[in-house]
Amino acid sequence: MAHSAESPRAPTSFLAKAGAVALTAVKHVPTRMVLWGLIGLVVGVIGVVLSYILGVAFMGRGAMILGYLATIPAAIPLLGAVVFGLHGLHRGAARAALALERQFGLVSHVVGRVMALVEERFGARLANLPLQQLEQALKEIVAQYLISKEDDEGRGMAAYVVRRARGVIVARIETYLLADYRELHAQDGSGGGVSVSKLRDRLSEGLSSRLAGLVMSPLNKQLAIFMTLYVLLAAGWWLWLFLILAGLGKLAGHG
C-alpha cells in the first residue's frame, strides 16, 4: 500500500501529525498483554498438572517428593504469565504499528524524514553516485535521524509503539534503498542520476508492503521458541531438577 510522499521539510512528529486518533491504534496493546499473560498462566498450570501425572507414572511412590517442592510448580505459571505478558506487549505494539501504518502512513513518514536528509546532502537527484559512497552516506544519515529530536514522540503507549515501529523501519531502509537505487540507476540513472522523490516513493511503497512481515515474523519465531521451552519446563521440571542435582552430585563426588 503506497502513501503520498510527505514533504521533506515537515516539522511535526508522527504523533503530532496523526493526532489523538492514533491512540485508538494502541487500544489492543494492553489487551494482548493481558490475554497472553493469561495464556502463559493457563499453559503453566496445565503443564504443572501434567508434570505430577508423569511423575507418578515414572517415579511411583518417589513422586511423593514432588509435594515437598510446591514452590517450584507454583512459581512456573506465574513466570509464564510474566514472560508471555511481555510477549503480548510486543505483539500488541506490532499490531498497533500496522494499524498506524494503515491509518496514517507511518512508513511514509519515516522514509520521508530519512530521504529529506538524503536530499539535503545530495540534492534532488543522485547523479551517478557510487554505491559505496551512498552506502556510507546512508549510515551517517540514519544515525543522524535517530539522534535528532525532530521525531521525539514523548512518552506513553502510543509513543512506545511508534518508536518500536520506527526502529524496525529504519533498520531496513539502508538495505532496501540501496537495492532500489541500484535497480533505478540501471534503468534510467545513466547521465542524469536517480530522482530522490522517485526513490522515496518506491522505498515507501516497498517497506509498507513488507511491514507486516518485518514486525510479526520475529515475534512468531519467538513465540514458537518460548512455548516449546515453557512446556518442556512446566511439564518436566522435576526431571530437569533431578538431572541437575544428579550432575552436581557427580561433580561433588569427583571433587
pLDDT digits (tens, 9 = 90+) for 37-62: 999 999 999 988 888 787 777 666 55
Average pLDDT in the chain: 79
The whole-number average pLDDT for the span 152-165 is 75
How many domains does the chain fold into? 1
In contact, 146 and 7? CB cutoff 8 Å: no
The answer to whether residue 152 sits within a structural domain is yes
Q: Is residue 249 part of a domain?
A: no
Dihedral, CA atoms, 128, 132, 134, 140, nearest 10 degrees? -160
Sort 60 into a burial class: Cβ within 10 Å, 0-12 / 13-18 / 19+: exposed
Q: Collapsing DSSP states into helix, strand and coil, what is residue 130?
A: coil
Would 90 be classed as within a structural domain? yes
Instruction: Provide the residue range defining the domain that includes 203.
Output: 19-238
Residue 245 lies in a domain: no
200-249 confidence digits (pLDDT tens):
888 888 888 888 888 899 999 999 999 999 988 888 777 777 677 667 76
Report residue 35 as a C-alpha cell. Answer: 490475554
Q: Are strands 125-126 and 194-195 parallel, antiparallel or unpaired?
A: antiparallel
Question: What type of residue is 166?
Answer: R
Write out pLDDT tens, residues 87-109: 999 999 898 888 888 878 888 88
Element (H, E) at 42: helix 28-59
The answer to whether residue 244 sits within a structural domain is: no
Residue 2: inside a domain, yes or no? no
Residue 93 lies in a domain: yes
Whether 153 is in a domain gets the answer yes
pTM, two decimals, is: 0.74
